[in-house]
Amino acid sequence: MGALHQGHLDLVSRSLEKCDYTIVSIFVNPTQFNNPEDFDKYPQSLEQDLELLEQAGVDAVFVPTVETMYPKKPEITLDFGSLERVLEGAFRPGHFNGVGLVVSKLFHMIQPDIAFFGQKDLQQVAIIHRLVSEFCFPVKLDVVPTKREADGLAMSSRNRRLGDSQRKLALILFQSLSDAKKLLLKGHAWDAIKKSVETLFEKEEGVKLDYFSLVEREKFELLDSYDPAVKSSICVAAFVGEIRLIDNMPINA
């Protein structure tokens, strides 16, 4: 959705490495925002984005208008079942319907052989995998690991809205994920870890936790305990001031 950072450019690099022709789409999709104020404040820097993409060597950039993508108000809705009833789906009703609509349109318009998505939006990746499977899109998905700042903060377009003090506060997401992963791998109980993290957020002024959950990655089912045989990740979402950030960390391959 624009406001490009190195995480986006990693997707571009992966495409340039694997593909003969690389197209980047930039579109701030209104149908995936359940909060109009969040849509209005979403950072946009198209001119700078185009310069970065030109320097990176992409072959084309698709920058459609809202009227191009939605010539009339969408009447079709997509329901991803239990996959969208938890975490981001629960806290942002309608969000994944908007994601599914715009990605379906982009797949039809561009007809890519491979589509590259970032691991940071882990539940979105699961949604798109389901979309491709259910609608038989002839596209392979390539998920690129989360790009982080030197101090661990996951790169995000929304980070541009953080003030200096908020930027420091935002590190609580990465620190909580890292500490929780270490404790899980040492055999500590998930319930106790989660409760400790929730207490930490309650004590930290300026942040508000939405969720801190252990999930099975494919079906995105919430887990009560860690099983090394199950591919799982820890997911977190929290407000730093008025800015909502998400992050996740895989526990095993």
247 in a known ligand binding site? no
d(CA 57, CA 52) in angstroms, rounded, equals: 9
95 in a known ligand binding site? no
Query: What are the structure tokens assigned to 182, written together?
Result: 């270490």
SS3 216: strand
One DSSP character per residue, 120-159 reads TSHHHHHHHHHHHHHHT-S-EEEEEPPPB-TTSPBP-GGG
Asked whether 31 and 72 are in contact (CB, 8 A), the reply is no
d(CA 220, CA 243) in angstroms, rounded, equals: 24
Tens of pLDDT, residue by residue over 68-125, are: 999 999 999 999 999 999 999 999 999 999 999 999 999 999 999 999 999 999 999 9
- Find tokens 């992050």 and name the residue: 247
CA 21 to chain centre: 25
Domain limits, CATH 3.40.50.620, in the chain: 6-144
183 in a known ligand binding site? no
Query: What are the structure tokens assigned to 60, written together?
Result: 């084309």
Contacts of 194 (CB under 8 A, 6+ apart): 180, 212, 213, 214
3 in a known ligand binding site? yes
| Residues forming a β-bridge with 238 | 209, 245
pLDDT, average across residues 25-49: 93
Asked whether 144 and 125 are in contact (CB, 8 A), the reply is no
The identity of residue 218, as a single letter, is E
The identity of residue 57, as a single letter, is G
- Find tokens 């200096």 and name the residue: 164
Residue 108 annotated as catalytic: no
| Domain at 160-250: CATH code | 3.30.1300.10
Residue 253 in this model has a pLDDT that exceeds 80: no
d(CA 136, CA 161) in angstroms, rounded, equals: 38
CA 74 to chain centre: 23
pLDDT classification of 35: cutoffs 50, 70, 90: confident
| Residues forming a β-bridge with 61 | 24
Residue 36 in this model has a pLDDT that exceeds 90: no
Domain limits, CATH 3.30.1300.10, in the chain: 160-250
- Find tokens 């526990």 and name the residue: 251
| pTM of the entire predicted model | 0.94
158 in a known ligand binding site? yes
Tens of pLDDT, residue by residue over 181-204, are: 999 999 999 999 999 999 999 999
Q: Which fold has domain 6-144?
A: Rossmann fold (3.40.50)
Catalytic residue among 8, 95, 108, 188: 8
How would you classify residue 81: left for phi > 0, otherwise alpha for psi between -120 and 50, otherwise beta? left
> What Rg, from alpha-carbon coordinates, does the chain have?
18
